[in-house]
Amino acid sequence: MKEKAEQIKSELMSSISSINTLSDLANLKAKYLGKTGVITELTKNMKDLSIDERKEVGQISNILKNEVTEIIENREKEINDAILNEKLKNEVIDITLPSKKIKRGSLHPMTRITEEFEDLFVSMGYTVFEGPEIESDENCFQKLNLPKGHPARDAQDTFYLKDEVENFLLRSQTSTAQVRAMEANVDKGPIRIVCPGKVYRRDEDATHSHQFMQIEGLVIDKDISMADLKGTLETMMKHVLGEKTQVRFRPSYFPFTEPSVEVDVTCFKCGGKGCNLCKQTGWIEVLGAGMVHPDVLTMSGYDPKVYQGFAFGTGLDRMAMFKYGIPDIRTIYGNDIRFINQFDRKDED
């Protein structure tokens, strides 16, 4: 019996490889597994056998039936695969033909750089504080320790609005946010803000636009020092210009901070070795900062004996120009679509 089963199986194995169509396979299947097929034949005379023999024949024929079924099904899958592969061969396309383009939009580079600064400072617990672009002389200058007639006003040629007296202006610096934030804080407690925004000055050339953007930062608390300022600016400049960026303090003068510093960063073009961009010094001046002047705190209702703080302000346009290598500030506000279109992808983190 066993021998017979083995023989049936080997006959099937030898004949099946020559079967290449599904109809031939169906015939073969009928030949082995059909009602009058080979395996049915095998068990035909079962009733004449003893119980033990019957058991043996039943077992053997069942195993054989399963094996034969599997062999035929495998072959069926092979034939189907071959048919499919043949079909796919005829569906080959030219993948080098142009794609069906989807319109790309973009955010303005100034929006991108602003968001970069905002995200960093928000992650450090700062609130993005917004102020109006039309500002009073009082908020923009007087409460920042720049009374009328102060010589430091020369540094900012301001647009005044048509008014009987020179009372209102287009803000010439986001530092005015310092005053607004302090006055808005009714309980005169700690403050942590950044204020990005448009500012305006009567000035126009390759490095100056009459409209540009600044970001001002202000932290007021009980124990804030120049060292905290430097640490914060180091974090900021590394974030925007790269981990290798170093920060340098030079003493300077702003009426609303005391002490005041100019802040330089290592030239991102040459890494500090010296090049045309940094005029061979290895450093580029990027912002002004300092400790909030006690008079400024007092004028906005803070007690300088209890609170001290730092403030800094930098030109966002300059940052964008550095970061993206834009040579002329007028390009930023020219809105040439070929310029704007360049800022349409994710930047490297």
Residues 75-134 that bind another protein (CB under 8 A): 100-108, 110-111, 115, 118, 121-128, 130, 132-134
Listed ranges 18-26, 39-47, 65-73, 149-157: which one lies at the site for another protein (CB under 8 A): 149-157
Q: How far is the CB of 37 from another protein (least distance, A)?
A: 46
Which has the closest alpha carbon to 141: 262, 287, 296, 303? 296
Listed ranges 14-22, 50-58, 178-186, 194-202: which one lies at the site for another protein (CB under 8 A): 194-202
* Residue with Cβ nearer another protein (39 or 316): 316
Binders of another protein among residues 229 to 288 (CB under 8 A) are: 229-235, 247-253, 255, 258-262
Report how far residue 188's alpha carbon sits from residue 197's, in angstroms, rounded to the nearest whole number.
24
Q: How far is the CB of 84 from another protein (least distance, A)?
A: 28
Binders of another protein among residues 157 to 176 (CB under 8 A) are: 159-163, 166, 168, 170
Q: How far is the CB of 268 from another protein (least distance, A)?
A: 19
List all residues 6 or more positions away from 66 whose beta carbon is below 8 Å from its beta carbon: none
Q: Phi/psi zone of residue 111: left (φ > 0), alpha (ψ -120 to 50 degrees), beta?
A: alpha
Number of residues that bind another protein (CB under 8 A): 90
Q: What is the CA radius of gyration of the chain?
A: 41
For the packed helices 22-33 and 51-89, what is the interaxial angle rounded to 10 degrees?
180
Would you count residue 155 as binding another protein (CB under 8 A)? yes
Provide the token pair at 16.
């099946």
Provide the token pair at 22.
């599904």
Taken as a whole, the chain contains a residue count of 349
Q: How far is the CB of 174 from another protein (least distance, A)?
A: 14
Would you count residue 341 as binding another protein (CB under 8 A)? yes
Report how far residue 206's alpha carbon sits from residue 76's, in angstroms, rounded to the nearest whole number.
76
